[in-house]
Amino acid sequence: MHWANVFDVLGGIGLLLSLVVLYLLPILLAWARGHDQLTLISLITLLFGWTILGWVVALLWSITKVDPAAVAVRASIKAERSRAAGRAAGGPPPRS
């Protein structure tokens, strides 16, 4: 195998990985920002991102203002579910 072929393959893999990251950019941004609509942004990106318009919509939505109240409510719900699962599994009783 020639080294030129190896570099062509590595370049192709690098290009493919770059395109995948670019396609998933709205999801990555929403996740990094703790966006309260991460699930919907992900669905739009995965289902309609190939249309470019769907990708742009998801990208713009992922960089919109994050609602701190919604994030706090989700964290509270998640914590309560975790406590309930611990009680159901016979874990220690919750602290008062």
Q: Which residue type, as a one-letter code, is found at position 55?
A: W
Distance in angstroms (rounded) separating the CA atoms of residues 95 and 48? 46
The pLDDT value recorded for residue 73 is 76
Task: With respect to residue 80, please indicate whether it lies within any of the assigned structural domains.
Answer: yes
**Structural domain boundaries enclosing 82:** 3-88
Distance in angstroms (rounded) separating the CA atoms of residues 74 and 51? 31
* Chain segment 30-80, per-residue pLDDT in tens: 999 989 899 999 999 999 999 999 999 999 999 998 877 776 777 788 888
The pLDDT value recorded for residue 84 is 81
Does residue 82 register a pLDDT over 90?
Answer: no
Task: With respect to residue 95, please indicate whether it lies within any of the assigned structural domains.
Answer: no
Task: With respect to residue 37, please indicate whether it lies within any of the assigned structural domains.
Answer: yes
pTM, full prediction: 0.66
Task: With respect to residue 27, please indicate whether it lies within any of the assigned structural domains.
Answer: yes
Instruction: Please state the length of the chain.
Output: 96
The number of folded domains in the chain is 1
Distance in angstroms (rounded) separating the CA atoms of residues 74 and 66? 13
The pLDDT value recorded for residue 86 is 76
Task: With respect to residue 94, please indicate whether it lies within any of the assigned structural domains.
Answer: no
